[in-house]
Structure 1
C-alpha cells in the first residue's frame, strides 16, 4: 500500500524538521510498520482576500464581507486522507503489524496505543464505494481531530486539521476566481469530482489536475473538515486578521469545505462554505449515537496540515486543540 499517485516519480528524501520557510519542501510521511505514506506539500505564508465578491456567481451571504487574512506557512496533505491511511489508526493496523513481526513497542508505540480509537462501526462506512486509495468518509470532526493526535504522537511532528482560512488560502493557490483555475465551471471536471461527473460515488485520490500549489481534489470528491465552528457572520471582523480560528464550543454546526461528489458546481467554489448537521447521524442506530461516525455524511472526509512553527503546548490547548463539549465514549 502507498499513497503515491501511480506513475509519480519518487521524491528526493527530505528531512522535514526545518524552521525556515525557505527550506520547506514536499515530503512523504512514512507510517511505521506499514508501507503507507502521506504526501505533504509546502504552502507559503502570506495574505489573501477571504470570501467572495458580491458579483461572484453562486455567492451566498455567509461568504462576506470579503476581508484580508494573513497566514503563517504550513504543509498540507497533497491528497485527502484515504482509507488505507485512516484505518492504520482506526483499526490499529500498525500495531498489529508490529506484533506480527515480533517487535517490541518503542516509546512512540506506547503513546499511540493510549490514544482513543473509534468503536466498531455498525456497517461498512465506505458504503460500497471502495476503500484503499479512496478518501475516508463518514467520520465526525472529533474522529478527524483524534487521527491528527495519533499521527502527531506517532511521527513526532505536529499535525492538525486546517483552519477554514488556511483551507481557502490553499485551495485558491494564489487565485481570486470562483475556482483555482478560473471562473468557468465548464472546466471543473478537469479538477474535481462532483454530481455531474462522479457517477454516484467518490473516486481515488489524485486522478484529476492539481491546483497551482500541487494540491489535488480541493474542489469536490469529498468535503473536508476544518477546525472552525461555523458562524455565518464570522467574516465581519476588523481586517487584517492573522491566523484566524473560530474555536468550536458546541457540536453543531462545524465547517466543512470544498464540496463533494454529490455537490453542484456552485458548492465547489473556493469560497463556498458548508457545515455539519445533526441529520448526519440520522441512520445511526446506536444509543447513544456514536461520537466517531456520521452515517449520513457520505461525502465528508478531511486532509491534514502541519504548521512550520509549532505552537507551545499551552497555545495548542487554548486554541488549536480546543473543542467543546469534550467527546467521550459512554
Structure 2
C-alpha cells in the first residue's frame, strides 16, 4: 500500500485513511499520463491538465466518476493485462503502473476524487533510477540542492573560462565559456561529402554553456572507472552504508574492467576511451556530486555549435582538408592510435581535438532524419533517448578519413561496439570494440530541474540489455 495521509475523525471515534491529491495522485498523473493527455488534441479526447477538463473530457464520456472506481475508466484501464490494447498508460509509453499506484487511484476516486481548485497539472519526466540502488531520486534531489546552493554562492560569477580540479583526485581540467547564439545546424547539400543525415540545415538557438577545453583524459576518468570497492553489475557499492558514505559514494560507477582499457596506446594525458554513453553520463554525475556544478554530455546542437565556433565551413578552420594536420589526429597522421589531447591547434573558441583524435558522445538519441523533424528556430534542441541504440557521436576519430571529421558529420552507436565483450549479458559500462570513442563535458549556465538531471544522467537506465 502507498503511504497515505491519516486524518482522525473524532466524531466517529475512528481513523480514516485519506489519499492526499498533491502528495500521492498528482505525481502519478504528471509522470505517467499528462504527456499524452494535454493540449488541443489529447489522446482519446481526454485532457488531464485541469479539474474541469479531467472530469468532463473523453471521447466516450467522463473517465472519472467520483466515488465510483468501477465506473471510472481512468482506474479500470490501469489494471487490465499488460497485453491489452486498452492498458493505460500503454507498455510502449511508461506502463503499466505499479500495483501501489493503481490502488492509490482507486482509493482516491472512492473517496470522492478530490482535486483542489486551481491546481493545473504539467507533464513531468518519470525518474528512471536503478532499483535497489542509492543512485535514486533522493540522491538526485541532494545533488540538485548542492548545485543550487553553490550557484547562489557563485551568483555574481561571470561567464568566463575557468580551470578546476576533480576534488577527490586533484586532477586538473579546464572549461571554455561558450557564448549563447544562433547557428545553422547541419551542412548544405553543396558541401563536398555531405550526408543525407546532415540536412536540411536548421537554424537553432543555444543558451550559454561551458565546454571541456579537451576530451576527458584517463587522468580524470580512470579513478572513477577503477576503485578499490566491489560493485554490483549496476554500479552500486556492495558495502554502501548511508550512515557512512557520501552522495559521491552513492553514484553508480563502473565495475572493474576485464581488460586493460587503453589497449597499450597510452594513459596520462591521453583521452579516455571505450566507455558506454551510460558510463560517460555517470562520470558527469560523479563530478557534479563533488563540485556542486552540473556537468553532462553536450547535446548534438551544443556540440556542433561549439565545434563550428562561428564558422560555416566544412571544418572550423575552413574547407581545405589539407590543413587537417595542423588541427587533428586522423588516419593519415595518427600512427594508428589516439594521441595526447591538446597537442594540435584549437578551433576559434579555444577547443582542442573537436576534429579527430576520438569521437565524442553526445546526449542525444541518434535519428538519421533528426533535422527533418527539427523545427527551425528551436532553442536548446535535445533528442531525448528512448532506447539504448543508437545514440549520437560526433567529431570523427584517429582512424577516420578527412571527410568524416567535418563539423556536420553524425553517427550512431551500435551493439557491435561490444562484440569482443566476453560477459553475458554484455557490460553496461564498456564498448570494448570502440577504441576511437571518448567524450567531453559541458556545464550549462542555467541550472536544470531534478527531472532534467535525471534525463541526462540516467537516459540508459532501464534500457540496458
Q: Per-residue deviation at 1:326?
A: 2.0
Choose the corresponding residue for 2:252, options 91, 111, 116. Answer: 116
Q: 2: CA distance between counterparts of 1:324 and 1:86? A: 19
Q: Per-residue deviation at 1:312?
A: 1.9
TM-score scaled by length of structure 1:
0.87
Listed one character per residue, the Cα deviations across residues 203-227 of structure 1 (whole Å, up to 9, x for unaligned) are 0000000001000000000000000
CA contact (8 A) 2:226 2:255 kept: no
Choose the corresponding residue for 1:48, options 183, 192, 204. Answer: 183
Q: 1: CA distance between counterparts of 2:380 and 2:217? A: 27
Q: 2: CA distance between counterparts of 1:320 and 1:264? A: 31
TM-score scaled by length of structure 2:
0.62
Q: Kindly indicate whether residue 409 of structure 2 is the aligned counterpart of residue 276 of structure 1.
A: no
Q: CA 1:186–1:328 in structure 2 vs 1: closer, same or farther (change >3 Å)?
A: closer
Q: Kindly indicate whether residue 438 of structure 2 is the aligned counterpart of residue 296 of structure 1.
A: no
Question: Which runs of structure 1 show a deviation greater than 4 angstroms over 4 or more consecutive aligned residues?
Answer: 15-21
1:87 aligns to what SS in structure 2? helix
* Structure 1 unaligned spans of 5+: 1-14, 94-106
Listed one character per residue, the Cα deviations across residues 155-174 of structure 1 (whole Å, up to 9, x for unaligned) are 11100000000000000000
Q: 2: CA distance between counterparts of 1:221 and 1:108? A: 41
Whose Rg is larger? Answer: 2
Aligned to 1:158: 294
Aligned to 1:205: 341
1:113 aligns to what SS in structure 2? helix
Listed one character per residue, the Cα deviations across residues 281-327 of structure 1 (whole Å, up to 9, x for unaligned) are 1100111110000010000000000001111213333x434514526
Choose the corresponding residue for 2:160, options 1, 6, 25. Answer: 25
Q: Kindly indicate whether residue 201 of structure 2 is the aligned counterpart of residue 70 of structure 1.
A: no
Aligned to 2:13: none
CA contact (8 A) 2:387 2:463 kept: no
Q: What is the number of equivalent residue pairs in this alignment?
A: 303
Listed one character per residue, the Cα deviations across residues 131-155 of structure 1 (whole Å, up to 9, x for unaligned) are 1110000000000000001000011
Choose the corresponding residue for 2:422, options 267, 280, 285. Answer: 285
1:235 aligns to what SS in structure 2? helix
2:246 aligns to what SS in structure 1? helix
Q: Kindly indicate whether residue 220 of structure 2 is the aligned counterpart of residue 85 of structure 1.
A: yes
CA contact (8 A) 1:45 1:72 kept: yes
1:47 aligns to what SS in structure 2? strand
Q: How does 1:144-293 map to 2 (within 5 A)?
A: 144-236=280-372, 237-293=374-430
Q: Per-residue deviation at 1:228?
A: 0.4
Q: 1: CA distance between counterparts of 2:168 and 2:376? A: 47
Give the superposed CA RMSD.
Answer: 2.3
Q: CA 1:79–1:197 in structure 2 vs 1: closer, same or farther (change >3 Å)?
A: same
Q: 1: CA distance between counterparts of 2:400 and 2:385? A: 25
**Where is the helix percentage greater, Structure 1 or Structure 2?**
2
1:255 aligns to what SS in structure 2? strand
Q: Per-residue deviation at 1:24?
A: 1.1
CA contact (8 A) 1:256 1:276 kept: yes
CA contact (8 A) 1:247 1:322 kept: no
Q: CA 1:264–1:20 in structure 2 vs 1: closer, same or farther (change >3 Å)?
A: farther
Q: CA 1:64–1:202 in structure 2 vs 1: closer, same or farther (change >3 Å)?
A: same
CA contact (8 A) 1:291 1:327 kept: no
Listed one character per residue, the Cα deviations across residues 60-96 of structure 1 (whole Å, up to 9, x for unaligned) are 0000000101001000000000001001211238xxx
CA contact (8 A) 1:251 1:325 kept: no
CA contact (8 A) 2:297 2:441 kept: yes
1:39 aligns to what SS in structure 2? strand
Q: CA 1:112–1:56 in structure 2 vs 1: closer, same or farther (change >3 Å)?
A: same
Q: Per-residue deviation at 1:109?
A: 6.7
1:241 aligns to what SS in structure 2? coil
Listed one character per residue, the Cα deviations across residues 150-205 of structure 1 (whole Å, up to 9, x for unaligned) are 00001111000000000000000000000000000000110010001100000000
